[in-house]
Amino acid sequence: MKIAAIQMQSGLDPEANLAALEPMLAEAAAAGARYVLTPEVTMIFPENREQLASVAAPFEGHPQLARVGELAKQHGIFVHIGSLAVPLPDGRFANRSVLFGPDGRQVATYDKIHLFDADIAGLNAYRESATYAGGERAVTADLGEFTLGMSICYDMRFPKLYNALANAGATLIAVPAAFTVPTGQAHWHVLLRARAIETGSYVIAAAQGGQHANGRATYGHSIIIDPWGRVIAELAHDAPGVLVAEISADHVADARQRIPALANARNFAMPEPLQP
């Protein structure tokens, strides 16, 4: 089975982002890909919450998603929109992945579970939870020969999610992302390879890359990794592009037989905290 990751440089106009995506979907389909993943914040990469609120469309009847469904049907492929912002009743948003089947219908959705809330020395506190509400359930989907596990960006720092996906049958795990340049240089490859190795799964990560209209710079380097942790394809830059690789279910079975970490895992008790 061939799969593809699309690397984008999404801006502030959803229609312009969709226009940039369409020829890359066609390129991936022409290369034989049956499953195509796009990055996090595919449809709009906002500067702030107010800007996001002014353009984010309701999920039901979403105009760009409707067009993506048409494209999936036109090409006869699975199209996985890495994420887009969906307005919620409380004024926040869901960071939502949407998978379309070859018939153009929505197969599955996943709302990003882990949100980045941090107090960083010398910088203002960052509260992703002020804009987004975290999801509460892990999601898998049937791709035929493979079972897809869904995640988004910051999720990759939480191995428990990937272990749960693999134990639920996932053999290909998607990680759409918009990684910053410093964290990408430091952690992108090692985290994604670790998630592949510990689950014995393929990992496909479609990234945002380059300088965006919102002032941010993202790392790019979309990548596909095999169940042994080997990088089998990578866009070694931050420019838009299409990455295609062929994957095999036999390689998943082989890796899990050679290192049966999922089967060997055990529950264990933790020591009591030390008392002061």
d(CA 189, CA 252): 20
Contact in structure between 215 and 12 (CB atoms under 8 Å):
no
Contact in structure between 45 and 20 (CB atoms under 8 Å):
no
Catalytic choice (153, 160, 234, 246)? 153
Three-class DSSP category at 50 = helix
Instruction: Tell me whether residue 263 is exposed, middle or buried, using C-beta atoms within 10 angstroms of its C-beta: 0 to 12, 13 to 18, 19 or more.
Output: exposed
Q: Which of 68, 50, 72 is nearest to 59 (CA)?
A: 68
Catalytic choice (27, 40, 60, 145)? 40
The verdict on whether 50 is a catalytic residue reads no
The verdict on whether 153 is a catalytic residue reads yes
Catalytic choice (2, 112, 198, 272)? 112
Q: Which of 111, 114, 21 is nearest to 65 (CA)?
A: 21
Q: Which of 137, 53, 126, 122 is nearest to 87 (CA)?
A: 53
Residue appearing with tokens 């960052």: 126
Active-site amino acid positions = 40, 112, 153
